[in-house]
Structure formats: structure tokens, C-alpha cells
């Protein structure tokens, strides 16, 4: 168990270049708690995960060598429903990262008012070092190690960095074989042919676009005159950019890990391939100008969407950001210190737990489809996602207006109030 690791995190630590997801998540919780009238004991409980599983996952490599990898599953809180969150395969996966990310999942599900709590897990491994066969063996063994703590009513994993729909299919198959019954609801993000939902893949990017569109309207701008820069042209970034482009915005810059392309007159986003679609295509695209990823963040645009990795907006560059609005596509792209600078500068930041929550929302739709054994059409998924995003947006907007707080504080107020009220109502036993 890794609780002791999380206890060691110092909330007053100030080195933000190494700010862990757990440190950021705890700072955000502490700040949110000052805005709401909730029992301090409940807040104390929410600083800690309910459980953290740490498992050894033996893997037989294709050459016959045996390697023992370490896997985790952090379960933060399930007061409102089963734990929910991704499984990532990445060399830097560790207990604290999983705990911090699982806390964000608790808030994300609560902001969206879906009946799930927060979970996150993964294996410390470089996914590029795995053949398909190795990845399948690793995933099946990981599913076996986690079998007692996951399940449609307990904890429902999903794809994350380094994992995909196929990984979820193996996980679901391994779990189902041991249960003796096909159990599609044990994971989401599966291929539609085995109970996955249409529209799940593009959902986080689509929700980023929906929330950006609402924010543009809220600030009384015209979407046709709005310029947008998107860092990271992967699943989230490309889907967000293409939807905004379709709705009339000028997407003037996008990037992948190799760099950014820039056209002040707007890019044709359908013509730009994402890094995953064709590596090197973003930076290799024939655009009038190029920029580095760092320069993209400081472009003179109306909206900046960081949709690649965490901690890219820091105290070092927050003063140089020229955008009038930041919408977080990635999880945790803004450090706590950068957030404070943006607040002082009057630049609104719409947080990840609202903006990219379309992913977990369509995961919830998938879980409902699995339980009911009935598939929804893509149109229905889009309509229901739109409606859920607007409800969440309106709940958060009301807090912004009534309390004159930032968008992040408002989203936390909505989420924490829902989670804390559920905890107070259920009480503590024994």
C-alpha cells in the first residue's frame, strides 16, 4: 500500500517545475475548501485516497526474459459511485501521480454530476518498448492482479496515456474469463463491437470545443472573429481544433511534440494530420510560419488551448501569455503559481475538470449502454454530451457570477459541494 508515500507530500513545497499532480491537486482542494462551508473532517478525508493498490506484474518478454513491472490503482473516493479513471502505461507512473490524478477524477465526475468517483492507475513501463503480444500479456496479468478491486460497480478503468481501446478489450476479456460471464461494464473506452460507445474517442476534444464556444459567448466575443492556438494535436487537441474550426473560429496555430505551425489567417485543421495519425505531419505541414512549442503558448491569440501535457503554463511563462482566455484540454497544464498570475492578470482559465470532462461523460454513457446491453447512435451520444456539458457549464458559470471567483474555483466549489454533501449525508462508519 502506498498511503505512506502520499503522506510525505509537502503541500508547502514551492518548486513548481517538479510540482506533482498530487501536490497541485491538494493545493487546489485546500483553496476550494476556503470557499465552501463544508466539514473540515470531510475535507481532511478528501485529501487522502481511500485505497492504493500496488502490484507486481511479471511479464515474459518475447525473447523469453522475465521482467517484473510495478502497477498501481489509486482509488480516491467513491461516495457518489464506482471509482472511474484511466490506466496509463508510462515510465513515470508512480503512486503519487496516480493519487493526484484520481483526485481530479473525483472532481471531474462531480462537476459533471455523473455517479462515479475518482480512480487512476497504470504500470511504470515505456509502452514503445512493448510488442503487441507483450502488451496483451501485461494487460491480462494486470487485470488479474486488480481483479478483486475493479468491476462495473466497484471501479471502472479506461484508456489513458500508452493504452487504447484494444488494451481495454484485453482487460475486459481477462476479467470476463475469470468471472465466467461477459462483463463489458468493467472498463470503458472499448471498441464499439464489444460494448464500446460511438463518439468516445473524440469526446474529450469535443467537450473542450463546446466549453470554449460557451466561454466565447459568455465573454461576448464573436466566434467568427476568435483566434485559437492549440498545443498538442493528438486526440484531445485535434478534435477540439477541428470542431472549433467547423464552428467558425480561426485556428491559427497547432503543435505536436516536434513543434508548431502558425498561419495568422487560420489553418485548415482537417488538412493537418495529428502526430498519432502521421508522425511529424504537424511540424512537416506546409504552413507559412513555424514556432516552437514554448512560443505557441505566448502567441497573440484570443484563446489558448494547452492540450498536450501537464505543467506547461508555469510561473516562468505565465506573464508572457498573450491569450485572453485559456481553456485546459490537457490534465493539469497550469501550475498553481501560474494560475495565481493569470488571476492577477485577469486572464480566465477554464479548468480541465470541466473542459475535457467529455471523455468521462461518454464513458458514463458507455457504462449505461453496457448495463442495458443497448448501443446508442452517434447522434444520440453527441446530443447527450452537448446537454451534459451545458448543464455543467451553467452550474459553474453561476458560481463564477454569484461569488466572483475564478473558473477553477467555481468548478471546485460545484464539485466539492456535491462530494462533501454526499459524504456528510452518508456519514462516517464506524
User: What torsion do the CA atoms of 296, 297, 302, 306 make, to the nearest 10 degrees?
Assistant: 110
Nearer residue to ligand NAD within complex by CB, 43 or 321: 321
User: Contact between 368 and ligand NAD (CB under 6 A)?
Assistant: no
**Cα separation of 412 and 67, whole Å?**
41
Shortest Å distance, C-beta 96 to ligand NAD? 16
Nearer residue to ligand NAD within complex by CB, 69 or 330: 330
- Grid cell, residue 105, equals 477524477
User: What torsion do the CA atoms of 143, 147, 150, 154 make, to the nearest 10 degrees?
Assistant: 160
Nearer residue to ligand NAD within complex by CB, 217 or 316: 316
Q: Give, as ranges, the residues between 205 and 264 that touch ligand NAD (CB under 6 A).
A: 231-237, 255-257
In sequence order, the β-bridge partners of residue 325 are 303
Shortest Å distance, C-beta 390 to ligand NAD? 19
Q: Which of 86, 85, 87, 89 is nearest to 59 (CA)?
A: 89
Beta carbons of 135 and 165 less than 8 angstroms apart: no
Shortest Å distance, C-beta 418 to ligand NAD? 20
**Cα separation of 221 and 242, whole Å?**
19
Shortest Å distance, C-beta 113 to ligand NAD? 18
- Grid cell, residue 273, equals 494530420
Residues 6 or more apart whose CB falls under 8 angstroms from that of 313 comprise 297, 306, 321, 326, 333, 334, 335, 338, 342
Q: Give, as ranges, the residues between 295 and 334 that touch ligand NAD (CB under 6 A).
A: 307-310, 329-331
**Cα separation of 361 and 43, whole Å?**
25
Nearer residue to ligand NAD within complex by CB, 256 or 339: 256
Nearer residue to ligand NAD within complex by CB, 358 or 423: 358
**Cα separation of 68 and 55, whole Å?**
10
Q: Residues 356, 361, 406, 417: which binds ligand NAD (CB under 6 A)?
A: 356
Residues 6 or more apart whose CB falls under 8 angstroms from that of 95 comprise 2, 5, 6, 52, 54, 72, 74
Angle between helices 407-426 and 21-33 (to 10 degrees): 80
User: Contact between 122 and ligand NAD (CB under 6 A)?
Assistant: no
The sheet carrying 83-90 orders its strands as 51-60, 66-77, 117-124, 83-90, 155-159
Q: What is the DSSP letter of 334?
A: B
Applying CB under 6 A, the site for ligand NAD has a residue count of 24
User: Contact between 163 and ligand NAD (CB under 6 A)?
Assistant: no
Q: Residues 118, 204, 348, 351: which binds ligand NAD (CB under 6 A)?
A: 204
Q: Give, as ranges, the residues between 20 and 79 that touch ligand NAD (CB under 6 A).
A: none
Nearer residue to ligand NAD within complex by CB, 232 or 351: 232
Shortest Å distance, C-beta 332 to ligand NAD? 7
Shortest Å distance, C-beta 233 to ligand NAD? 4
Residue among 120, 135, 190, 423 flagged as catalytic = 120
Shortest Å distance, C-beta 329 to ligand NAD? 6
Question: Is 120 in the active site?
Answer: yes
Shortest Å distance, C-beta 258 to ligand NAD? 7
Q: Give, as ranges, the residues between 266 and 295 that touch ligand NAD (CB under 6 A).
A: 274-276, 293
- Grid cell, residue 200, equals 468516445
**Cα separation of 337 and 329, whole Å?**
19
CA distance from start to end of the chain: 22
**Cα dist. 315→275, 325, 329, 374 in Å?**
28, 17, 19, 48
State the residue number with the nearest CB to ligand NAD. 234
Nearer residue to ligand NAD within complex by CB, 139 or 361: 361
User: Contact between 84 and ligand NAD (CB under 6 A)?
Assistant: no
Nearer residue to ligand NAD within complex by CB, 47 or 84: 84
Catalytically active residues, by annotation: 120
Residues that bind ligand NAD (CB under 6 A): 204, 231-237, 255-257, 274-276, 293, 307-310, 329-331, 356, 359
Amino acid at each position: 500500500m502506498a498511503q505512506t508515500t502520499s503522506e510525505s507530500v509537502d503541500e508547502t513545497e514551492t518548486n513548481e517545475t517538479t510540482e506533482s499532480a498530487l501536490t497541485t491537486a491538494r493545493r487546489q482542494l485546500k483553496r476550494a475548501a476556503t470557499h465552501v462551508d463544508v466539514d473540515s473532517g470531510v475535507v481532511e478525508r478528501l485529501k487522502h485516497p481511500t485505497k492504493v493498490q500496488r502490484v507486481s506484474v511479471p511479464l515474459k518478454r518475447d525473447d523469453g526474459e522475465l521482467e517484473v513491472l510495478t502497477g498501481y490503482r489509486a482509488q480516491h473516493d467513491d461516495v457518489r459511485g464506482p471509482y472511474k479513471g484511466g490506466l496509463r502505461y508510462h515510465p513515470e507512473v508512480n503512486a503519487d501521480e496516480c493519487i493526484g490524478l484520481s483526485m481530479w477524477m473525483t472532481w471531474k465526475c462531480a462537476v459533471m454530476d455523473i455517479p462515479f468517483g475518482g480512480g487512476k492507475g497504470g504500470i511504470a513501463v515505456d509502452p514503445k518498448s512493448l510488442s503487441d503480444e507483450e502488451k496483451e500479456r501485461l494487460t491480462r496479468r494486470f487485470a488479474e492482479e486488480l481483479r478483486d478491486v475493479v468491476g462495473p460497480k466497484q471501479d471502472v478503468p479506461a484508456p489513458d496515456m500508452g493504452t487504447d481501446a484494444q488494451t481495454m478489450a484485453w482487460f475486459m476479456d481477462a476479467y470476463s474469463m475469470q468471472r465466467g460471464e461477459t462483463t463489458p461494464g468493467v472498463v470503458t473506452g472499448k471498441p464499439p463491437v464489444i460494448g464500446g460507445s460511438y463518439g468516445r474517442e473524440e469526446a474529450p476534444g469535443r467537450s473542450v470545443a463546446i466549453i470554449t464556444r460557451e466561454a466565447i459567448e459568455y465573454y461576448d466575443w464573436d466566434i467568427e472573429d476568435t483566434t485559437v492556438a492549440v498545443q498538442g494535436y493528438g486526440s484531445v487537441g485535434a478534435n477540439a481544433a477541428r470542431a472549433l474550426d467547423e464552428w467558425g473560429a480561426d485556428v491559427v496555430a497547432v503543435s505536436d511534440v516536434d513543434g508548431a505551425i502558425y498561419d495568422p489567417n487560420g489553418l485548415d485543421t482537417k488538412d493537418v494530420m495529428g502526430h498519432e495519425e502521421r508522425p511529424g505531419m504537424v511540424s512537416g505541414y506546409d504552413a507559412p510560419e513555424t514556432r516552437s512549442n514554448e512560443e505557441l503558448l505566448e502567441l497573440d491569440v484570443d484563446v489558448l488551448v494547452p492540450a498536450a501535457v501537464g505543467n506547461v503554463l508555469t510561473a516562468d511563462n505565465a506573464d508572457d501569455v498573450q491569450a485572453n482566455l485559456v481553456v485546459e484540454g490537457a490534465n493539469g497544464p497550469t501550475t498553481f503559481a501560474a494560475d495565481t498570475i493569470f488571476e492577477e492578470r485577469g486572464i480566465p482559465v477554464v479548468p480541465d475538470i470541466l473542459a475535457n470532462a467529455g471523455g468521462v461523460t461518454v464513458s458514463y454513457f458507455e457504462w449505461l449502454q453496457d448495463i442495458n446491453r443497448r448501443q446508442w447512435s452517434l447522434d444520440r451520444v453527441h446530443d447527450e454530451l452537448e446537454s451534459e456539458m451545458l448543464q455543467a457549464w451553467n452550474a459553474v458559470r453561476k458560481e463564477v457570477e454569484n461569488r466572483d471567483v475564478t473558473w477553477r474555483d467555481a468548478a471546485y466549489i460545484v464539485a466539492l459541494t456535491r462530494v462533501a454533501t454526499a459524504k456528510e449525508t452518508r456519514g462516517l462508519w464506524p
